[in-house]
Amino acid sequence: MRSPQKQSGFTLIEILVASALFVIVMAMGFVSLKQSIRGAERLEEASGEFASIQRAVQTMVRDLSQIQPRSVRDLIGSDRIPALMTGAEGGGIEMTTGGWTNPASLKRSVLQRIGYQVDENTLYRVQWPVLDRTQGTVPTRRPLLEGVLAMRMRFFDSQGNDTEDWPPLSGGGSGGGTGLALRPRAVEFTLELEDFGVISRLVEVAQ
């Protein structure tokens, strides 16, 4: 008489154990995937912020390197404003720069009057449509960079003397003009950023 064959298969306990292990493995994989996604998002956000810093710094370097010895009339037209001056509106800097491209060949100067100021932790670039503005002239105020705690400027003349105010009280210059048309030999700007610390650049002014 032949003995009955044993049936192969999983017991209920084995199935429960396998199911529990599967759930644990899936949960671990989900946590790892979630962490990877968060890490990628943080990296993308940091890359975007770094690119914004680079663009802002490049813009400031371009403007500062092209400071021109051209003073402008004040709002009333009875006085002159220096080609470069600190303590401008908003506690920033204001200057006349060159290199304003004119691809449409409009009847305007290649010089422009621009400024930089920090307001509510945002760095702004201010641009006036004309050099000699009036009370009705409305500037364009474009945000360049957020998270800026402070902006500091330092100016160097041809003798290597430095000052935080321009025009300098001593009246020294760099050969780039006299009086209201004085230009520094170099400008160092420092940006104190909320997430990236302190960034400084020394810019030589083209003479």
Q: How many CA atoms lie within 13 A of 64 on its CB side?
A: 24
* 110-151 tens-digit pLDDT: 899 999 999 999 999 999 999 998 888 999 999 999 999 999
pLDDT of 176 higher than 50: no
Q: What is the pLDDT of residue 27?
A: 75
Q: What is the pLDDT of residue 175?
A: 42
* 36-89 tens-digit pLDDT: 667 666 666 666 788 999 999 999 999 999 999 999 988 887 788 999 999 876
Average pLDDT, the chain: 83
The reported pTM is: 0.74
